[in-house]
Amino acid sequence: MLASKVTTKYQATIPLEVREKLGIRQGDMVAFELENGVVRLRRVVPLDVEYAKALAGTLSEWASENDEEAYRGL
């Protein structure tokens, strides 16, 4: 098991072995995927970022007042 201490700013260093395995370099983005109490860390590739930006532009069709009212209690 690899461990890292969390600072007062809630930052932690990614251990060298993990950085090497995932190909993480300074300036790279990482993603935290949560599932059933387990967190997975992965390197975000530029395609992920561009896809997310493109997808975000299509979500406004569900941002109407009627949608807000219909899904408010969920």
Instruction: Give the pLDDT band of residue 64 (cuts 50, 70, 90).
Output: confident
Q: What is the pTM of this model?
A: 0.58
> Residues 34, 60, 70, CA angle at the centre, nearest 5°?
80
- Per-residue 3-state assignment (H helix, E strand, C coil) for the chain: CCCCCCCCCCCCCCCHHHHHHHCCCCCCEEEEEEECCEEEEEEECHHHHHHHHHHHCCHHHHCCHHHHHHHCCC
φ/ψ (deg, to 5) at 30: -125, 155
Between CA 45 and CA 38 the distance in angstroms is 22
Across the range 36-47, mean pLDDT stands at 88
What pLDDT shows up at residue 66?
Answer: 81
